[in-house]
Amino acid sequence: MEINCKKKTKIIGISGVTCGGKTYLSEALKRSFVGSVIVNQDDYFREEDDPCHEWIDVSPVRKHQNWETLSSIDWSAFSTKISDILNGDHIHETGLILIEGHIIFNYDKFPFSFDRKYFVTLNKDECWQRRNVREYIPKDPDGYFDVCVWP
């Protein structure tokens, strides 16, 4: 995948703990820097039945996708979207490309480098409380937080 960016667009990576405020921060930056674009990793999760998923045993008779691993994301589609933005005219000269997601810094095959990286942290109790009020599809099975999210 080739990138032919006409101007030096700043690529900002925002990663960190689940429910830590990554999306909130990205949206605040987008409002502050006219013409910025957000590319959210959450938009590139694989379908539930995708064979690329890693599965965990949540009970003797039940398995569940581990959504916290690199294999849960369609990195090809994600990278293509970012490249299309970089190669197009989508960004104002004062704009940023804000790439947001909980495991973006673990992926080492992006065809670009980040100009800045920010990692959002949160303590375990606050993370659990925030995650516990969200509704996920599919729903997190009992024990998922301790096994996959905060092992």
Query: How many domains is the chain partitioned into structurally?
Result: 1
Reported as a single tens digit per residue, the pLDDT across 108-138 is: 999 899 999 999 999 999 999 999 999 888 8
Domain encompassing residue 79: 10-45+75-149
- Which pLDDT score, from 0 to 100, does residue 91 have? 67
CATH for 135:
3.40.50.300
Residue 59 lies in a domain: no
Reported as a single tens digit per residue, the pLDDT across 44-78 is: 999 999 999 999 988 788 889 999 999 999 999 99
| Long-range contacts (CB closer than 8 Å, 24 or more residues apart) made by 54-58 | 56/144, 56/147, 56/148, 58/141, 58/142, 58/143, 58/144, 58/147
Please tell me the least confidently modeled range out of 7-21, 37-51, 98-112: 7-21
- Does residue 125 sit in helix, strand or coil? helix
